[in-house]
Structure 1
Amino acid sequence: MTTPLSPNDVPHEHDRQHGESPAQQVRQGLLVAAAVAVLGVAVGLLWLWLAPRVPMISDGKAVYLANSEGEESIAADGTFALLGAGAGVLAALAVFWRLRRGGIAAVLGLAAGSLVGSVLAWQLGVWLGPDQDLVALARAAGEGKVFEGPLVLRAEAALLVWPSVAMLAHLGLTAAFGPEDPEWALQPMPEDWTHRNQPPSGGPHPPSAGPHASWPAPGGPRH
């Protein structure tokens, strides 16, 4: 007797034609990571442009913040975090729109690319900003003169804002707009599937439970 098949056991033509090999999935994840990481160049340039400059002053012996409260340095960290959050949302939207059924490889590529892009933006902004050598900057400005300090990311936890927001945004998009119905529910069942679920001809049939059915009494004689 042939074992009946369930819908999950039925091969789907869609799966055979559009399935991706592990190598293709890895390649897809690497492409996503590279594309997202390149966005770090734009984030780094924006950070350099928008972050407030930190005024500093030297007394000839040491270098001090011209503003003792250090609001500019805090604002620089906040600017980087906000830019990272915006980049995370944009990256998640782009990956979800392009690869709605991308799978785990695309998600991992988004996370890795976001982290690399965040580090790239940080290093690019620091590299293109004022010189990191405070002593040289103070000597060039002169004693008692206010000069522009280097661009520094003091709260390095801000590097995690971009990848964190990207993953949360992608998760939210998948939950709200991702595919819900399994693909097999949209596929017609093959003709032989219904025949395999029928009992074989000539085989035993269950007794009828109609009004004329008779059942032997417990312990009574069998006719």
Structure 2
Amino acid sequence: MTAPLTPPHQPSPHDPDWPPPPPPMHGPAGDPITAAEVLQGVLVTVVSAIAGALLGVLWLNLAPRVLLISDGKGVYLRNSEGETAIGADGTFVLLALAFGAVAGLVVFLLRRKGGVPLVLGLALGGVLGSLLAWGLGTYFGPTSDVIAHAKAVGPDIAFEAPLELNLGAAALLAWPLAAMIVHLALTAVFGPRDPEPEPWDRPKPYTQGPSAG
């Protein structure tokens, strides 16, 4: 019987001639989302939604008023050629853009690392804040019952039309869009950079093993 062949020498990973292992790879999604980041996103949502009350107060006080007048048979615009009919929408959109830009800036300054929960918090909080502002402005503004209001003030006397948004969803999206754009732009320009991976050393030729023959 012949002796079994000796297997070739297997170099140890700690062998100086053995090429170093490749660096760990990170997926495109980056680091996993932690519970702390989720909590921060929820906090941004809540604070943004509460800030919508301030937006509603500003909109109620700064939006131009549309004046109506009644002749006893119908209700008409006092100035049919005026631009105040779209002034309420423009005021709301401008204020919402400002609130969104400030929200994106503040969140970036407090959390430069960024993250998906923060962006989602800015978006959801902006929508909730806009809805709250819209609701407060229309609730505390002039009554929506125009006919009853006209009868209460009498004919040929001007009165304020109810405060409303004609742009609807477009006006409500101004805040979240501005917040996300500002935050993502600041993160891309001034956010932390990932370190460059170190280049691999060129593997040395493998010279160990059983001798020929």
Structure 1 length-normalised TM: 0.75
Residue of structure 1 in register with 2:74 after alignment: 62
Residue of structure 2 in register with 1:171 after alignment: 184
Residue of structure 2 in register with 1:145 after alignment: 157
Q: Report the AA paired with residue 68 of structure 1.
A: S
CA positional deviation for 1:24 = 2.9
**2:113/2:187 contact within 8 Å kept:** no
**1:29/1:106 contact within 8 Å kept:** yes
Structure with greater proportional helix content: 1
Q: Helix, strand or coil: the match of 2:79?
A: coil
More moved, 47-56 vs 23-32: 23-32
Q: Report the AA paired with residue 177 of structure 1.
A: F
Could you list the per-position Cα deviations for residues 95-145 of structure 1 after superposition, in whole angstroms to 9, with x for gaps in the alignment?
A: 111111131011111111011111111111111111111012101110111
Q: Is 1:49 matched up with 2:49? A: no
Could you list the per-position Cα deviations for residues 47-90 of structure 1 after superposition, in whole angstroms to 9, with x for gaps in the alignment?
A: 01100111001121221111102411211110001000100100
Residue of structure 2 in register with 1:84 after alignment: 96
Q: Report the AA paired with residue 80 of structure 1.
A: F
Structure 2 CA distance for aligned equivalents of residues 111 and 133 of structure 1: 33
The unaligned stretches of length 5 or more in structure 1 are 11-18, 186-193, 205-223
**1:8/1:184 contact within 8 Å kept:** no
Residue of structure 2 in register with 1:5 after alignment: 21
Structure 2 CA distance for aligned equivalents of residues 105 and 184 of structure 1: 27
Q: Determine which structure has greater relative contact order: mean sequence separation of CA pairs < 8 Å that are 6+ residues apart, divided by chain length.
A: 2
The unaligned stretches of length 5 or more in structure 2 are 1-10, 14-18
Q: Report the AA paired with residue 115 of structure 1.
A: V
Q: Report the AA paired with residue 136 of structure 2.
A: L
1:203 to 200, 208, 212: 208
Q: Report the AA paired with residue 6 of structure 1.
A: P
Q: Is 1:23 matched up with 2:39? A: no
Residue of structure 2 in register with 1:208 after alignment: none
**1:73/1:152 contact within 8 Å kept:** no
Question: What percentage of aligned pairs have identical amino acids?
Answer: 50
2:194 to 181, 206, 213: 181
Count residues in correspondence: 187
Structure 1 153/9 Cα, relative in aligned 2: closer, same or farther at 3 Å?
A: closer
Q: Report the AA paired with residue 124 of structure 2.
A: A
Q: Is 1:117 matched up with 2:122? A: no
Q: Is 1:126 matched up with 2:138? A: yes
Q: Helix, strand or coil: the match of 1:100?
A: coil
Structure 2 CA distance for aligned equivalents of residues 43 and 167 of structure 1: 18
What is the alpha-carbon root mean square deviation over aligned residues? 2.6
Structure 2 CA distance for aligned equivalents of residues 160 and 66 of structure 1: 31
